[in-house]
Structure 1
Amino acid sequence: MTTVSRRTALTPRQLTRTGERLSFVYLERCTVHRDANAITAQDADGTTHIPSATISTLLLGPGTRITHQAMSVLGETGAAVCWVGEHGVRYYASGRALTRSSALAEAQATQWANTRSRLAVARAMYRLRFPDEDPSGLTRKELLGHEGRRLKDCYRTQSARTGVPWHGRRYTPGDFTSGDLVNQAITAAAQCMYGIAHAVVTSLGCSPALGFVHSGHELSFVLDIADLYKTEIGIPVAFDTAAEDEEDVGPRTRRALRDRLNETGLLDRCVNDIKRLLIPHAPEASSTSDTADVVTLQTDHDRVVAAGRNYGGTDELPDGAETVW
């Protein structure tokens, strides 16, 4: 009998690209199993099959149980998995990267390690958010001030557009219901965006911790990326949801945001934005190799040589060096 442990690992070419996946799937009060390379959600109404390779983020709500085999296939296909609460969304775990290349991770570390390039990326992020402004020459303090004013303007604009009263951002961590209706919707939208951004960041092999605007947190870069789409998508969706009804604002915001993300193709855009931010001068088609599975060794003068070979006892590094194993 064939067992899961005998299945061969999927290669990058067999996986669905991040930008072509569903933004997220939310499940609650069910048991999640594995059936071949799909997951199944079983509840009192029956069993639903979900191709695991098409999921970017799986949100597991209250009353869900998931098997070891289901987690195994989700990890193989690079899907992020989040356990979420009744009134909000929190991100706890993710699958492995969908890329075998370290190009983006190395580019991120290089850009982050230099204070000038780190500020340049922060300015580029501001330009993506507010293309009508030129942040060239702005200091970090000035960037924060401009961002704060634009965010306040966005809240006022959305309030006027939807007729939803706005009395300021109010959110108490761990207490979803402490804010008014629109604040609850904004919190739900923000947490969903964080989970989606985390899924994209990890699927590209980047470090969630090396942020260019945020710092000091394990998800600094995730917060940076999620904020790129806050005023364009997250906040408008939250105000639209709050204007419709007062019941179940959290679940309705998640569903509305999911639909908007799929309509706008945000995942594909998010992937391209990250690549342009980290490798701004590379040709778009060749900025990173998504399917390359190559390991090299670093040597002097920024040279690399093939891994898996023994270079001991040689002054040079010949192409025909002895194989290690």
Structure 2
Amino acid sequence: MTTVSRRATLSPRQLTRTGERSSFVYLERCTVHRDANAITAEDAEGTTHIPSATIGTLLLGPGTRITHQAMSVLGETGAAVCWVGEQGVRYYAGGRALTRSSALAEAQAVQWANVRSRLGVARAMYRLRFPDEDPAGLTRHELLGREGRRVKDCYRTQAARTGVPWRGRRYTPGDFTSGDAVNQAVTAAAQCMYGIAHAVVASLGCSPALGFVHSGHELSFVLDVADLYKTEIGIPLAFDIAAEDQEDVGPRTRRALRDRINETTLLDRCVEDIKGLLLPGGAPAGTVSNADPDVVTLQSDGGRAVAAGRNYGGGEGYSDVEASW
């Protein structure tokens, strides 16, 4: 009988292009196994078959167990896997990126390494957050000042809208209960948004550390991405939760944010926003995903890339395998 270990591994050219896959498939409270080249999700209601080649990233939520064979087929078909909280609200761990292309990671490094382009991305992030303002020509200090004023205005606006008293942002690291109910809700929403952003950044193969607004931390870019949705989603939702009830603010905020993420398809939006920020001239949908995932080149002089799998020592008769090794 055919065993998993004897099945032929699919080559990248046999795989479904990432742009034609479901961006994210979320599972919770089930056992994930393998059946041929599909994965199965088994729970109390039965077994669901999911063709593994149609998955961009598999998000494993609470209560999931996954077998070695399931991980094997996901690896063969180029799917990313992330271990997350409910509905992707927190990010715990992940394996490989959603794409085999290094295009986004290289674009991020190029944009980050140049002081002018780094500032340009920071301005673009500000424009995404506050489309009614044009940050062109603003310095770093001016951007930070304007961002601070806009966030303060958001707090005041939401307080007036919901009737929740606001006495300023109060949060003591490591002591969640030190703030009042609305501050606890804002903290819970922020932590959830960091998890969501981290899951997307990891899935795309970007560096979590190379930030354009934040700096000096291993999650600087994650914080940048999470902040894109702070005044639009995180803060208003936190005030809504605090206005409803002062009890169990943290869990209620996380559940409400989970539902809002689904309603607004925020995960897909994060993907497109990151592409638009990092790729030259912005990125139409699927730009990176549709790139050939099996292209490997070598860097040469003058920014030129040359074919891999060849020996450039001047000798003749080298095969691709011989040249690579």
Name the TM-score, length of structure 1 as normaliser.
0.80
SS at match of 1:165: coil
Q: 2:24 is matched by which residue type in structure 1? A: R
Distance in 1 (alpha carbons) for counterparts of 2:159 and 2:42: 38
- Counterpart position of 2:16: 13
1:279 shift after superposition: 1.5
- Listed one character per residue, the Cα deviations across residues 191-221 of structure 1 (whole Å, up to 9, x for unaligned) are 2211111121122221111100011111111
How high is the sequence identity, in percent, across the aligned residues?
Answer: 67
- Counterpart position of 1:251: 251
Go from structure 1 to structure 2 and tell me whether the alpha carbon gap of 1:14 and 1:285 turns closer, same or farther (over 3 Å shift). Answer: closer
1:249 shift after superposition: 2.7
Report the RMSD for the aligned CA atoms in angstroms: 3.2
- Structure 1 range deviating more: 105-114 or 176-185: 176-185
SS at match of 1:297: strand
- Listed one character per residue, the Cα deviations across residues 222-255 of structure 1 (whole Å, up to 9, x for unaligned) are 1101100110011112222222234433332222
- Counterpart position of 2:143: 143
1:34 to 2:30 alignment: no
SS at match of 2:84: strand
Go from structure 1 to structure 2 and tell me whether the alpha carbon gap of 1:34 and 1:244 turns closer, same or farther (over 3 Å shift). Answer: farther
Distance in 2 (alpha carbons) for counterparts of 1:129 and 1:163: 24
Distance in 2 (alpha carbons) for counterparts of 1:266 and 1:306: 38
Q: 1:171 is matched by which residue type in structure 2? A: Y
- Counterpart position of 1:185: 185
Give structure 1 stretches of 5+ with no counterpart.
315-319
Give structure 2 stretches of 5+ with no counterpart.
none
Query: What does residue range 1-325 of structure 1 map to in structure 2 within 5 Å?
Result: 5=5, 8=9, 13=16, 20-21=23-24, 32-34=31-33, 36=35, 37-38=38-39, 40=41, 53=55, 57-60=59-62, 66=65, 69=68, 77-82=79-84, 91-281=91-281, 284=284, 287-292=287-292, 293-313=294-314, 322-325=318-321
1:285 shift after superposition: 5.3
1:6 shift after superposition: 5.3
Go from structure 1 to structure 2 and tell me whether the alpha carbon gap of 1:290 and 1:6 turns closer, same or farther (over 3 Å shift). Answer: farther
Distance in 1 (alpha carbons) for counterparts of 2:74 and 2:196: 15
The answer (yes or no) to whether the contact 2:91–2:199 under 8 Å persists in 1 is no
Go from structure 1 to structure 2 and tell me whether the alpha carbon gap of 1:156 and 1:71 turns closer, same or farther (over 3 Å shift). Answer: farther
Distance in 2 (alpha carbons) for counterparts of 1:6 and 1:176: 52
Go from structure 1 to structure 2 and tell me whether the alpha carbon gap of 1:114 and 1:217 turns closer, same or farther (over 3 Å shift). Answer: same
Distance in 1 (alpha carbons) for counterparts of 2:263 and 2:91: 23
Give the paired residue count. Answer: 307
Go from structure 1 to structure 2 and tell me whether the alpha carbon gap of 1:10 and 1:309 turns closer, same or farther (over 3 Å shift). Answer: closer
SS at match of 1:92: strand
